[in-house]
Amino acid sequence: MPNRPQPRFPEPNTEEYWENVKAGRLTYQQCSDCDAVVFTPRLLCTTCGSSNLERKESAGTGEVYTFSVVRQNRNPAFADLGAYALAWIDLDEGFRMLSNVVGVENPSTDVHVGQRVQVEYELQESGEYPIPVFRPV
């Protein structure tokens, strides 16, 4: 279990998102006026500016859009991870999020563009909010 940084509240845009993550749900928003999918959580639609956003639950499946393998990280929260894959994940509902691909023996050879992945929630040594990460399926 890593000890990654935790969100800080009060924070009106993301608090509901993190409460859903804590409950094991990955959520995103969709504009009721123009149907645009919105992620990361915010108060206004990024396409039309409407405040009429509906929160929806993602199935948590998608594919790796691109990735990079981090081999050195001087941030103490990530020092114990060794080499790890940081990836942009295209979720099936139409949004992209930055996360890690976990559960691979060698991130340099076992992660690839187009790889199907499923969200899981990584518990932290300290803090109450798990971190959404993705495992190949």
DSSP one-letter string for 30-60? EETTT--EE-S--SS-TTT--S-EEEEE---
In-domain check, residue 89: yes
The answer to whether the beta carbons of residues 49 and 33 sit under 8 Å apart is no
In-domain check, residue 9: no
Q: What is the mean pLDDT of the chain?
A: 93
pLDDT of 51 reads 97
In-domain check, residue 4: no
pTM beyond 0.85: the answer is yes
In-domain check, residue 3: no
Nearest to 97 by CA among 54, 41, 16, 18: 41
Give how many domains the chain has, as a whole number.
1
> Is the link from the previous residue into 5 a cis peptide, with omega within 30 of 0?
no
In-domain check, residue 33: yes
pLDDT of 2 reads 64
In-domain check, residue 49: yes
In-domain check, residue 65: yes
> Residue 33 belongs to what domain range?
15-136
Confidence at 114, pLDDT banded by 50, 70, 90? very high
In-domain check, residue 8: no
- pLDDT for residue 6 is more than 90: no
Average pLDDT for 86-110: 97
Long-range contacts of 28-34 (CB under 8 A, 24+ apart): 28/55, 28/56, 28/58, 28/91, 28/93, 28/95, 29/53, 29/54, 29/55, 29/56, 30/54, 30/56
- pLDDT for residue 124 is more than 90: no
| pLDDT digit string, tens, across residues 27-45 | 999 999 999 999 999 999 9
Q: Residue 46's domain is classified under what CATH number?
A: 2.40.50.840
